[in-house]
Amino acid sequence: MTTQHERPALKIREFEGPLDLLFHLIEKNDIDIYDIPISDITEQYMDFISKMESLDMEVTSEFLVMAATLVHIKSRMMLPGRKGDSEDQEEDPREELVISLLRYKRCKLLAGELKTRHDVYTDCYYRVPSTAKAMDVEIKLPPQEFVSSEFDIAVSNVCKRNEIRFADISAKITHILKKDKLSVRERMKSVWLTISRRGRMFFHELFDKDNPPEKIDRIVGFLAVLELLRGNKITAQQKKPFDVILIEDKGMVEKS
């Protein structure tokens, strides 16, 4: 039993995902969702991540991706030259995060409304409306002239809609699914294999310069390096903020 001044222990399974945790922190601190103090929220989010009971990468990878995103936004907010009256002023780094949170809030409100309606109407039964035939009512429709040109246009429009609806997108879906299968554990293996073979390398050398990686690939690579650091397999050095990161095989460093 916790005392009045103790903070309740939060567990990852209490939240459906990183947006759920982030939304919880915003509501708890009564924060304006359109003006998020990114530094404070990032600190609280990272505090939660560091106190999680389970650090299973398969379970917490989504939470760690959000943590990396928050740190990235925080670093962009700290860059000089953001304030000013220039018409070409850079967009707010928080904009994409705010949009995601607003979408999540809308879905959460709709889900709550649907649950309320389910609880209220779950045991209700409705009378099936009677048909005109059962009520002995004769329906007479006014005669309409058939225009073949309008019919042809309607058929053409239906065909066009169906072409889009039933288009074969299996190749695109397969590509998306293959990208989603890239796990942190697999990236750890490839990073460790490269570093152990070369001894030392810069972080940006983990990616193909002729084929620039997407944002999620960089995040997964960064998380893999953090896990190898935590496992005491490598060392990493950065002389100053935003400088290149030198990664070395710790075993080779100790031997030299």
Alpha-carbon span 106 to 26, nearest angstrom: 15
For residues 230-240, give the mean pLDDT: 88
Regarding whether 217 and 111 lie in a shared domain, the answer is: no
Look at residue 43 and tell me whether its pLDDT is greater than 60.
Answer: yes
pLDDT at 6: 42
Regarding whether 206 and 110 lie in a shared domain, the answer is: no
Regarding whether 114 and 31 lie in a shared domain, the answer is: yes
Look at residue 11 and tell me whether its pLDDT is greater than 60.
Answer: no
Q: Per the domain annotation, does 144 fall within a domain? A: no
At 249, phi and psi to the nearest 5?
A: -70, 120
In this structure, what CATH number is given to the domain that contains residue 244?
Answer: 1.10.10.580
- Share in percent of the chain as helix, strand, coil (round to 5): 55, 5, 40
Q: Per the domain annotation, does 161 fall within a domain? A: no
pLDDT at 172: 64
Residue 188 burial (CB count, 10 A): 21
Regarding whether 207 and 109 lie in a shared domain, the answer is: no
pLDDT at 192: 92
Look at residue 127 and tell me whether its pLDDT is greater than 50.
Answer: yes
Look at residue 8 and tell me whether its pLDDT is greater than 50.
Answer: no
Regarding whether 189 and 115 lie in a shared domain, the answer is: no
- Return the residue matching tokens 């990878």: 61
Alpha-carbon span 74 to 61, nearest angstrom: 20
- Calculate what percentage of the chain has a pLDDT beyond 70: 79
Q: Per the domain annotation, does 228 fall within a domain? A: yes
Regarding whether 187 and 120 lie in a shared domain, the answer is: no
Query: Which structural domain, as residue segments, surrounds residue 10?
Result: 1-78+92-124
Q: Per the domain annotation, does 74 fall within a domain? A: yes
For residues 154-166, give the mean pLDDT: 82
Per the structure, the count of domains in the chain is 2
Q: Per the domain annotation, does 170 fall within a domain? A: no
Cα dihedral sign, 88-92-97-100: negative
Q: Per the domain annotation, does 70 fall within a domain? A: yes
pLDDT at 90: 61
pLDDT band at 177 (very low <50, low <70, confident <90, very high): low
Regarding whether 17 and 116 lie in a shared domain, the answer is: yes
For residues 132-157, give the mean pLDDT: 83
- Return the residue matching tokens 């225009």: 147
pLDDT at 24: 87
Q: Per the domain annotation, does 87 fall within a domain? A: no
Q: What is the value of pTM for the model shown?
A: 0.43
- Calculate what percentage of the chain has a pLDDT beyond 90: 5
Residues 6+ apart with CB under 8 A from 76: 93
Look at residue 232 and tell me whether its pLDDT is greater than 80.
Answer: yes
Q: Per the domain annotation, does 148 fall within a domain? A: no
Joined tokens for residue 18: 């990183």
The string of pLDDT tens digits covering residues 186-221 is 888 989 999 999 888 998 888 887 887 777 778 888
Q: What is the mean pLDDT of the chain?
A: 78
